[in-house]
Amino acid sequence: MIHYLVTPPTREALRALTEAMETRVWALLRTNTEPCEQLCLARNSFSDEQLLDAMLAHPIQINRSIVVTPMGIKLCHLS
């Protein structure tokens, strides 16, 4: 498990995770946060590189926890 608020992943790690999950970077974006609203990221008009820049600058923008296991990689809500 990657504790993204404590130890944010690198650009390369985020890109590798999205590739392994076979999803777009957009799927990792948390849209209900102040940085997202201020940066207008919810418009979905940004490139993957721009979204990665925002997530690296504001790790709170990473949606949920990313859990990596031998069975696969998933975005999960941990309680």
Give residue-wise pLDDT tens across range 31-75. 787 777 787 777 777 888 998 998 898 888 888 777 888 998 887
Q: Is residue 34 one of the residues assigned to a domain?
A: yes
Identify the domain containing residue 53 by its residue range: 11-76
Q: Specify which residues 3 forms β-bridges with.
A: none
- The pLDDT of residue 8 is above 70: yes
Domains contained in the chain, number:
1
> Is position 5 within any domain?
no
Report yes or no: 63 and 29 within 8 Å, Cβ to Cβ.
yes
| Residue 59 included in any domain | yes
In a domain, residue 1? The reply is: no
Backbone angles phi, psi at 68, to 5 degrees: -115, 120
Confidence check: pLDDT of 23 > 70: yes
Contact call for residues 18 and 10 (beta carbons, < 8 A): no
pLDDT band at 1 (very low <50, low <70, confident <90, very high): low
Say if 6 falls within a structural domain. Answer: no
CA–CA–CA angle 37, 40, 46 (5° rounding): 140
Q: Is the pLDDT of residue 2 over 70?
A: no
Single-letter code of the amino acid located at 46: F
